[in-house]
Amino acid sequence: MPNPFCARYRAAMAECGGRCPIEAGVLGRLADHECVHGRLPGDRTAKCGCWPQENAPVITLTRAARPPRAARKAA
């Protein structure tokens, strides 16, 4: 029994010049599901906050931030 995915994969591979059609974005369209940082939902790389199920990374400051100079003069 012929496998339609294999036939599509081979045709897409020929279209891509021998490259993997999934990585080239011709077959599977992974890029349609990536955020602007190139991450997929549930990716194990550093969180960027683009997906609703993950929060943006919180960066701890080494010292307290000072208010702008104009705000200090008004106080």
pLDDT tens track for 16-72: 888 888 777 677 655 667 787 878 877 788 888 888 777 766 777 788 877 777 655
Over pLDDT 70: what percentage of the chain?
77
Range of the domain at 55: 4-74
Indicate if the alpha-carbon torsion angle 66, 67, 70, 72 is positive or negative.
negative
User: How far apart (Å, rounded) are the C-alpha atoms in residues 7 and 14?
Assistant: 11
Cβ pair 36, 50 in contact under 8 A: yes
Number of domains in the chain: 1
Q: What is the pLDDT of residue 43?
A: 79
Token reading at 55:
């929060």
Chain Cα centroid distance, residue 22: 16
Tell me if 34 sits within 8 A of 41, measured CB to CB.
Answer: no
